Amino acid sequence: MGATITLLSLAACGSAGSTASAADTAKVATLTGANRTQELISGAKKEGHLLWYTTMIPDQIVVPMVTAFEKKYPFIKVDYYRGNSTDVAQKALQEFQAGRHNVDLVDGTGTSSLLAQAGMVQPFKSPELDSYPAQLKASDGTWGPELQYMMVLAYNTKQVTRAEAPKTYEDLLDPRWRGKMAWSTSATSGGPLFIGNLINAWGADKADPYIDKLATQKIANLDVSGNEVIDQVVSGQEPMALEVFNDQVEVAKAQGAPIDWTPLEPVTAQISRISLVKDAPDPDAAMLLLDFIFSEEGQKVIQSSGAIPARPGVDAKVKALKPEGGGFKAQYMDPDMTFKQTTEWNDLYKQKFVG
């Protein structure tokens, strides 16, 4: 009972913390000059912590990142909440609209677009972003890149050999693959994204007839995350999977799982984007974490986790994962446009493949 009371009282004061006024947040986010980092540090010392809603895998990426950051800035405690894009975006949005300003940073592939549309993003400037090309950052400072995802075809090596595995989108139409493929129903990976990538790359005139033909291939719709689809290929439940994360395939491969991947060009490239929330209560600490994530030091943490660093010049641990290392062509779609068309692609996907 004593434990219960302690828990409850802890829970009750959880939302208390440092507060910065709206004007402060905007000022801190766009600080420039030689003393910028020093000013952020002295502000962060007063704040003492920050809150981050993340879609990245905690034990693989978030925990190592937070550990490295807290080691560099021992006076900042990073709290995080983990969920998928939908959970994270909804949570941040509902809180913001109810006037609760707890969270400082939110990330995800589509999340930034949604939050920007809701008017709850604070544009920021980080000198670290100078090293990034235009396609990997927002021109208006509403987001910066954490890492990249490359969506590829994965196959079970006990059931499909490297020579047999499809190399192009046309190869997927071969009757021998009917009923042998699976993808996630997730709107931000899997089937809908696959369709969207082709429409973007080929235009509707070429993509539509192809999608109709693909729909006769009986692709299994798995209502699971992209990573779980990979697990089902590993276990042999599904011989092949489309539009899955190549870095996660490598993680499984490294454990000895019978799985490998091949890029279908153009490969769908996604960027995990992070945004600063308007009226964030801990802007100084949040800006320090943003700088850290974009920096070479932070991107090295991404590298050693096995994921694909966003920063040019920082290779993936397995070099072939990154387009420049693996020698494959990837299509970076405009994330805001992708977000706008997600519902459309999702509807088309449900109509052609689920219905």
Residues in 103-132 that interact with another protein by CB under 8 A: 110, 114, 117-118
Is residue 100 involved in binding another protein (CB under 8 A)? yes
Q: Please state, in angstroms and rounded to a whole number, the distance separating the CA atoms of residues 34 and 60.
A: 34
Q: Please state, in angstroms and rounded to a whole number, the distance separating the CA atoms of residues 171 and 164.
A: 10
Site of tokens 């986010």: 29
Q: Which of 221, 297, 300, 317 binds another protein (CB under 8 A)?
A: 221
Size of the site for another protein (CB under 8 A): 75
Is residue 248 involved in binding another protein (CB under 8 A)? yes
Q: Which of 23, 98, 134, 163 binds another protein (CB under 8 A)?
A: 98
Among candidates 28, 100, 33, 99, which has minimal Cα distance to 276? 28
Least spacing, CB of residue 211 vs another protein, in Å: 16
Q: Please state, in angstroms and rounded to a whole number, the distance separating the CA atoms of residues 56 and 65.
A: 11
Q: Where are the alpha helices (DSSP H) in 83-189?
A: 85-97, 111-117
Least spacing, CB of residue 151 vs another protein, in Å: 14
Reported in sequence order, the residue ranges of 58-163 that DSSP labels E, i.e. its strands, are 77-82, 105-108, 144-156
Q: Decide whether 204 or 354 has the Cβ nearer to another protein.
A: 354
How many CB atoms are located within 10 Å of the residue 58 CB?
Answer: 14
Least spacing, CB of residue 269 vs another protein, in Å: 18
Q: Please state, in angstroms and rounded to a whole number, the distance separating the CA atoms of residues 87 and 95.
A: 12
Residues 163-182 touching another protein, rule: CB under 8 A, are 182
Residues 23-52 touching another protein, rule: CB under 8 A, are 51
Q: Are 308 and 293 in contact (CB under 8 A)?
A: no
Helix (H, G, I), strand (E, B) or coil at 307: coil
Is residue 18 involved in binding another protein (CB under 8 A)? no
Q: Which stretch binds another protein (CB under 8 A): 163-171, 203-211, 322-330, 339-347?
A: 339-347
Q: Which of 95, 171, 208, 297 binds another protein (CB under 8 A)?
A: 95
Residues 186-215 touching another protein, rule: CB under 8 A, are 186-188
Least spacing, CB of residue 346 vs another protein, in Å: 6
Among candidates 234, 250, 273, which has minimal Cα distance to 321? 250
Residues 143-162 touching another protein, rule: CB under 8 A, are none
Q: Which of 36, 77, 82, 125 binds another protein (CB under 8 A)?
A: 82
Q: Decide whether 122 or 341 has the Cβ nearer to another protein.
A: 341
Q: Please state, in angstroms and rounded to a whole number, the distance separating the CA atoms of residues 39 and 28.
A: 9
Q: Decide whether 41 or 220 has the Cβ nearer to another protein.
A: 220
Q: Would you call 101 exposed, middle or buried from its count of C-beta atoms within 10 A (0-12, 13-18, 19+)?
A: buried
Angle between the N-to-C axes of helices 226-234 and 246-254, in degrees from 0 to 180, rounded to the nearest 10: 40
Q: Which stretch binds another protein (CB under 8 A): 98-106, 125-133, 166-174, 301-309?
A: 98-106
Identify residue 54 by its one-letter amino acid code: T
Is residue 4 involved in binding another protein (CB under 8 A)? yes
